[in-house]
Amino acid sequence: MSTPPASAFGSRPVLSAARAADAVLAGGRAQVGQLWALSDTEVASTLGHLERVRAAAEAQQVAVVTEARSRGLGNEQGWSGVDWSTQAAPTMSTGHASTLQVVADACRDPRLDDRATAVESGAISLAKAAQLARFHRCAAPVADPVQLADDTATLIAAAPTLTERQLALAIRHASALLRPEKDAEHLAERQRAARALYKGPGPGGMSTYRVVLDPEGAAILDAALDPLARPRPAQGDPDLRTPAARRADALLAIVGRGVSAPGKAPKTAKAQLVVTMSLEQLTGAVRGAGLTLGQELLTAGTVRRLACEADLIPAVLGTNSELLDVGRRKRLVPPAIRLAAWLRDRGCTWPGCTVPAQWCDAHHGTPWWQGGHTSL
């Protein structure tokens, strides 16, 4: 289907196009029962077209809300921007209206220049734009304006190729670097002091525990729980425990080991806390932060303190300078290569699988029996 030229919608193209799209899609809703006639390829194509329509509609919504904000619509009635949006579009959720307001305000912020209009043009999604807008709004009062502008431009440029989760991680990393190092370390100390474990009554005579941890504590707990909380099929049958039940069992296993053999808790490669950080950042030559496999950000000072009691394993070499390419001398994947694969892939590489790296098995790209090598 070709796109009608803007001239086809007269002097009010946005309004006319919105009316036309509304009418066409409303007519489509009446024909939903005929989807059975589509081929598998056409079903997928239809979903793709509708997704592009949704993204285009959100981009236009941002432009409309930005215009409404510039006119002060709703001010006479004492409405907030969210109130005005939900009054104008009664089926719009409050959360969506709030996201539109955040992005619209960013588009009107002169400090962002014209780069925020990437949202209006549809270059990045509304959800990603909201992440960027909130980052800029929170950082602007305390960050160096030049560095903030550079970081924002970098994030906007990278946003189209990142998932929302990847963008959130990049924003967290940028926020950590924008904060003065002494302030970051002071915040880390306060977070460590705020660690807490609460116990309360649970359903059916059970007990409920609630744990509040700082990034360092969360990384340590995740590193200990993840290897023991992976699904464990029994005799070919799937593990029917919920993720929450597996984590509870893993925690009890860890406590049981520690109580039964104090000071002799088993140490395996899967119980290690893996932190990625450059040598320059670790030594303080440049600003930086450490990143765990669980996507927790640790300050440079925290990583240095942990490193005093830890084995340092370079990402290129393993313990005792083990080579990461052992060719055909070994069939099973050694810990050095497994660790490097964790750092490289951050999770399962099977398309669509979101299992954490620590739960994954390592396999040869070319099977061993076909002459494959045990290499990264």
| Assigned domain for 2 exists | no
Query: Is 345 among the domain residues?
Result: yes
Confidence of residue 264 (pLDDT cuts 50, 70, 90): low
| Overall average pLDDT of the 256-261 stretch | 68
How many whole angstroms separate alpha carbon 247 and alpha carbon 228? 8
Would you say residue 287 lies in a domain?
A: yes
In this structure, are 59 and 112 located in the same domain?
yes
* Tens digit of each residue's pLDDT (9 = 90 or more) over 193-203: 899 999 999 88
Distance CA 373, CA 376 (A): 9
**Number of structural domains, the chain?**
4
Q: Which residues contact 230 (CB under 8 A, 6 or more apart)?
A: 246, 358, 359
Most confidently modeled of 41-45, 301-305, 324-328? 41-45
With a pLDDT cut of 70, the percent of the chain lying above it is: 80
Residues 322 and 348 in one domain: no
- The 10s digit of each residue's pLDDT in 123-143 is 788 888 888 888 888 888 777
Cβ(188)–Cβ(302) below 8 Å = yes
**Which value, in Å, is the radius of gyration of the alpha carbons in the chain?**
26
Q: Partners of 298 in the beta sheet?
A: 290
Domain match, 94 and 46 both: yes
Q: Report whether 213 contacts 221 (CB < 8 A).
A: yes
Q: Which of 291, 290, 336, 335 is nearest to 317 (CA)?
A: 336
Is residue 325 domain-shared with residue 348, that is, in the same domain? no
* pLDDT for the residue 327: 57
Which residues constitute the domain of residue 322? 273-329
Mean pLDDT for the chain?
Answer: 78
Please give the pLDDT value at position 285: 67
Single-letter amino acid, residue 50: L
SS3 sequence of the chain: CCCCCHHHHCCCHHHHHHHHHHHHHHHHHCCHHHHHHCCHHHHHHHHHHHHHHHHHHHHHHHHHHHHHHHHCCCCCCCCCHHHHHHHHCCCCCHHHHHHHHHHHHHHCCHHHCCHHHHCCCCCCCHHHHHHHHHHHHHHCCCCCHHHHHHHHHHHHHHHHHCCHHHHHHHHHHHHHHHCCHHHHHHHHHHHHHCCEEEEEECHHHCEEEEEECCHHHHHHHHHHHHHHHCCCCECCECCCCCHHHHHHHHHHHHHHHHHHCCCCCCCCHHHCCCEECCHHHHHCCCCCEEEECCCCEEEHHHHHHHHCCCCCCCCCCCHHHCCCECCCCCCCCCHHHHHHHHHHHCCCCCCCCCCCHHHCCCCCCCCHHHCCCCEC
Instruction: Tell me whether residue 58 is in a domain.
Output: yes
pLDDT (mean) for 223-244 = 83
pLDDT confidence of residue 110? 67
Is the pTM value of this prediction over 0.85?
no
| 218 and 283 co-located in one domain | no
In a domain, 119, yes or no: yes
Residues 285 and 366 in one domain: no
Query: What is the per-residue pLDDT for 107?
Result: 78
Q: Of the ranges 158-162, 207-211, 365-369, which one carries the lowest mean pLDDT score?
A: 365-369
The pLDDT tens digits of the residues spanning 139-155 come to 887 777 888 888 888 88
pLDDT tens column, 340-372: 888 888 888 888 887 777 777 788 777 766 677
Say if residue 207 is in the same domain as residue 296: no
* Domain membership flag for residue 226: yes
Residue 5: per-residue pLDDT: 56
Please tell me the distance from the alpha carbon of residue 238 to that of residue 159, in angstroms, as a whole number. 38
What is the greatest pairwise CA distance in the chain? Answer: 80
Same domain, 42 and 91: yes
**What pLDDT is attached to residue 85?**
92
Is the confidence at residue 86, as pLDDT, over 90? yes
Residues 278 and 297 in one domain: yes
132 and 51 in a common domain: yes
Q: Which residues pair with 201 in a beta bridge?
A: 207
Count Cα neighbours of 17 within 13 Å in the Cβ-side half-sphere: 15
Looking at the domain assignment, is residue 90 inside a domain?
yes
In this structure, the answer to whether residues 42 and 119 fall within a common structural domain is: yes
Residue 222 lies in a domain: yes
Closest C-alpha to 155, from 118, 185, 181, 180 = 118
Examine the domain organization and report whether 364 and 302 are in the same domain: no
